[in-house]
Amino acid sequence: MSSINIRSDIGKLKGVLVHRPGHETQNYLSGEFAQVFTLRPWSSSFDTDKAQHEHDRFTAMLKAEGVECLYLETLLREALDATPQARPHLIKSFLAESGATGDELQGAMRELLEGASTETLVRLVLDGMRAGEVLPPISAKSSLASATGEAFDEHMFLANPLNTIFFTRDPVTAVGNGVLLNHMYWPERNREVLLYEIIFTYHPRFRDTPKWFKHTSSYHIEGGDVLNLSNDALLVGLSQRTEAAAVDTLARNLLWSESASPITSLYAVEIPSTGTRLHLDTYLNRIDYDAFIVDPHILDTARLYLITKGRRAGEIRVHALDGGLPSMLAQALHLPAVTCINCAGGNSQMKERELENNACAVLCLAPGRLCTFEENVQTNTLLEKSGMELLPLRAEELTAGYGGANCLCLPLWREDLV
């Protein structure tokens, strides 16, 4: 297998990029959890052993399905060792986005990073950096800051750990034979994108990958809001985490690409913010040639748009669409109609609970063959009655209300649809 090939979100899955949670999820002291795990305000701990067990079962299932699992840490180490330009690129970018400012702190951090082995450099970037690791201890007799109690606490983070990096779908998105290096909403998650930038710039397997969007963009876009409908059509959700201006930039880059982007039409849909569901893929996913699983909240009320090339180079045209989401999806796929499996049936309380548990956020392994959350019993029963084959997954610690089975891997290669 070489490079990237994503022409839809339902072609038989052959290769993914994953990250097994590690020490970066445990690098916090007592009382620091809320500071480090800012996206889990209702929790006070993270069970890494349980999360690793869940992740191992997930990747074992993928491998049993014939999917090649590439691990982020391995690819990053290989990219750093492949060319001498990779290491200074990573260090410069990491320092610029670390949150630490000024010559003294950045100089000390740079010295530590530049002197580290490849293995240690990767761990420092993932695990975060504390003042005690970076700054030499200075006694009160030789430092006014120490004498007055104003010296940095040795345990204080100069760069926080990347403890959500096992959600590999959001920082980068594969489209056709290229990628979007997304600009994440949260600055710490934006640092995750730096690692993918190194991989897709310097790794021998991926160094020729076209980049359709740069994470240095002024506007935010996240992978959960981007669905590959077909070889020539992309669907993007307008959400809290993805701005319309980012979609404008993406459209110009794809429609007027010099690197032969296959995309000729971008569709956009406004999505609501409901509980912990923030991205399009928690409301809608394609699961078969002519079928989608859909949250009823967006079926009839969402505003829809089509973006195509304008007349002049670099210009785009935006068209408001009528007719509803199913009509738009059928238009994008060049089909007379599509089936939308509506997660609205059955017990209403259970329905809302399962929707909050990302019942729609399934991972399609092949047309009609889906990885789902096993605890979403009502939705899974509905999918099975609709003719879908299910491989249920339990990942309570990994996802904890944020994301579904599809957020735990970045598809890199799918077979083209016949």
For the annotated catalytic residues, the residue numbers are 407
| Residues in CB range of 118: below 8 A, 6 or more apart | 77, 80, 81, 87
Q: Is the backbone of residue 289 left (phi > 0), alpha (psi -120 to 50) or beta? A: alpha
- 198-to-164, 201, 219, 343 alpha-carbon distances in Å: 18, 5, 21, 40
**Helices 86-96, 103-114: crossing angle, 10 deg rounding:** 150
* In 13-47, alpha helices (H): 33-36
| Residues in CB range of 293: below 8 A, 6 or more apart | 284, 285, 287, 340, 341, 343, 359, 360, 362, 379, 383
DSSP β-ladder status, 233-238 and 226-228 = antiparallel
| Residues in CB range of 307: below 8 A, 6 or more apart | 247, 248, 251, 255, 265, 266, 267, 268, 316, 317, 318, 319
What residues are paired with 227 via a beta bridge?
235
Position 382, amino acid: L
387 within 8 A of 368, measured Cβ to Cβ: yes
d(CA 179, CA 254) in angstroms, rounded, equals: 11
Neighbours of 83 (CB within 10 A): 15
365 within 8 A of 282, measured Cβ to Cβ: no
DSSP β-ladder status, 389-393 and 369-373 = parallel
d(CA 91, CA 362) in angstroms, rounded, equals: 36
3-state SS, residue 138: coil
What residues are paired with 285 via a beta bridge?
293
333 within 8 A of 8, measured Cβ to Cβ: no
